[in-house]
Amino acid sequence: RKLAIFASGNGSNFQALADSVQKGTLDAEIVLLVCDKKDAFVIQRAKEAGIPAFSCSPKEYENKAAYEQAILDQLHIADAEMIILAGYMRLIGPTLLSAYRGRIINIHPSLLPAFPGLNAIEQAYEKGVKVTGVTIHYVDEGVDTGPIIAQEALQIEGSEAIETLTARVHRVEHALYPKTIAALLKKSEGVT
């Protein structure tokens, strides 16, 4: 299956997915990285992994629809079947949503519906919750609101520093995302 990954920053989840494809534990092909920040580190990662990257600054387009249409053109050229959001810091608009409805998924570093939006790990930490985690869900027009596909919980230790918690959340993400996508693809095998 042909996947396009959208990311805006570091790209550690992109890396985890690319590594899983390479190891053969994720039976898919990453056909395109879409990145909305021209200097993001994830672009470097794509280069090293030999994955084509389309970096596009929304400011260079007249409006969001034109920006997303430019992305859509690239997705079609690459023949991408699914969109995997991995730290893409932008809402998906109607242009992409209608073209890929039910075929866009996202990873979020909290147990949704708790702590949607930005800085979810910090939000959970500051709130003092004892359990947090990672959610993978389908994307709809809201912020982190679509139907949930998978979740994994983590206990927060009383004395834990935010840095350790953050590292643990990311470790869970890097394992759960490839595993969940592999299971999704398996389930939809033979479905056209």
- Asked whether the beta carbons of 106 and 85 are under 8 A apart, the reply is yes
- Asked whether the beta carbons of 13 and 89 are under 8 A apart, the reply is no
Query: How is residue 149 written in tokens?
Result: 């596909």
69 vs 151, beta carbon nearer ligand GRF: 151
- 180 binding ligand GRF? (CB under 6 A): no
- 110 binding ligand GRF? (CB under 6 A): no
Each residue of 168-186: b (16+ CB within 10 Å) or e?
bbbebbbebbbbbbbebbe
- Asked whether the beta carbons of 35 and 85 are under 8 A apart, the reply is no
- 36 binding ligand GRF? (CB under 6 A): no
Residues making up the chain, counted from first to last:
192
- Asked whether the beta carbons of 137 and 106 are under 8 A apart, the reply is yes
- 20 binding ligand GRF? (CB under 6 A): no
CB of 112 to ligand GRF, least distance (A): 11
Amino acid at 84: I
- Asked whether the beta carbons of 84 and 74 are under 8 A apart, the reply is no
- Whether 108 sits among the annotated catalytic residues: the reply is yes
- 168 binding ligand GRF? (CB under 6 A): no
- The stretch near ligand GRF (CB under 6 A) out of 10-18, 55-63, 122-130, 179-187 is 10-18
Is 82 annotated in a binding site? The answer is no
- 7 binding ligand GRF? (CB under 6 A): yes
- The stretch near ligand GRF (CB under 6 A) out of 8-16, 43-51, 153-161, 184-192 is 8-16
118 vs 191, beta carbon nearer ligand GRF: 118
Whether a cis peptide bond, with omega within 30° of 0, leads into 178 is no
- 178 binding ligand GRF? (CB under 6 A): no
Q: Which residues are catalytic?
A: 108
Q: Please give the residue ranges that form the binding site for ligand GRF (CB under 6 A).
A: 7, 9-14, 86-87, 107-109, 173
